[in-house]
Amino acid sequence: MARIVTGIFGGVIASVSLAIVTDEFDLNVRSRVMGFIQMSFAVAQVAGIPFGIYLANVFGWHAPFMLIVGIGIPAGMMMMRLMRPIDTHLSIVRPADHNAFNHLRKTISQPIYIKAFATTALLSLGGFLMMPFSSAFLVNNILIPQENLPLVFMFTGMATIIILPIVGRISDTFGKFRVFTIGTIVASGMIIFYTNLSVTPLWEVVLINVFLFAGIMSRMIPATTLMTAIPELADRGAFMSISSSLQQISGGIASVFAGMIIVQTSSGALKNYDVLGYTCVALMFVGVGMMHNINKYVELKKDLSQSGNKEKNKL
């Protein structure tokens, strides 16, 4: 129950954050903003996982959760005091029968939104397939000692902190869908290589993880940016909330599906992890096709908006 309640409110925070970014930053610079926002996950890897493991070992498993509470309450108070209200969308004239349930129903019934939700679900499904068993694979198949796992996460996270802003800037400069496609190719190659590894030195595992996460982040940042351009101003909060929920649901489905494929031998080694990798790659390339349609819609919407502004300027 605690996990469910945390997920409900955490999902709201994530969706509202993306809605705020969409309101405040133009699409042409939004990827670099997303790059900095996604750095929070990298910082969590660098500081959160190793420090959380240390606290759990020293003070018990409750300690990392208490730390989250200790950080979350002051952060929430600072947001309430220092952040200005983001309320432009509230000025939109809404129909008389408008309420939260009608708004939700109308949001999930629009064809382009349905396509976007399906794409989000597929991307999350592919992204979460390998994650639940990655630590077990490192320990039991690649034979990385349990105590060295924080080093893998830490060095990978440090590299990701550097990579993310670069990916965001490149995405804004050379095109979001193009960077997404290149990231898919890089991530797919690294996934196939990674899931077929046997016993491997620690430094090599770290290097492979860096390239793997670089490919994954090169998909995540432009994909998230394109998704934020789909909804109209009045629908952004609802659209982002549904997308956030779908990511969590898809992650759960992916974990169940992965558990049906993976088999653990008596020695602890995982079998069929390579099958999981090939499945993930197949879903990634299906995602490229679906993201192509999303990109076409965003480009058309952008062109119509620019032509409309030109007409307004003529008047």
Here the CATH number for the domain that contains residue 193 is 1.20.1250.20
Residues 6+ apart with CB under 8 A from 179: 31, 167, 170, 171, 218, 221, 222
The per-residue pLDDT for range 237-285, each reduced to its tens digit, is 788 888 887 887 888 888 888 888 888 888 888 899 999 999 999 999 9
Structure tokens at 174: 């050379």
| 133 within some domain | yes
| 20 within some domain | yes
| 132 within some domain | yes
How high is the mean pLDDT in each 10-residue block of the chain (315 residues)? 73 77 84 83 70 85 90 90 77 63 78 90 83 86 85 82 88 92 93 90 90 87 90 81 81 85 86 92 93 92 70 45
For 57, other C-beta atoms within 10 Å of its C-beta total 11
Domain range for 171 is: 2-83+102-309
Contact between residue 261 and residue 272 where contact means Cβ atoms under 8 Å apart? yes
- How much is the pLDDT for 310? 56
Backbone angles phi, psi at 284, to 5 degrees: -60, -40
* Strands 263-264 and 270-271, bridge-based pairing: antiparallel
- How much is the pLDDT for 312? 42
Q: What is the amino acid identity at position 205?
A: V
DSSP state of 108: T
| 92 within some domain | no
Structure tokens at 140: 């039991």
Please state, in angstroms and as integers, the Cα–Cα distance from residue 283 to each residue in 125, 132, 188, 200, following that order: 8, 17, 10, 27
The per-residue pLDDT for range 273-312, each reduced to its tens digit, is 999 999 999 999 999 999 999 999 998 888 777 666 554 4
| 96 within some domain | no
| 30 within some domain | yes
Q: How many domains does the chain have?
A: 1
Q: How far apart are CA 222 and CA 34, in angstroms?
A: 8
| 229 within some domain | yes
| 278 within some domain | yes
Q: Which residue spans within 154-300 are E strands per DSSP?
A: 263-264, 270-271
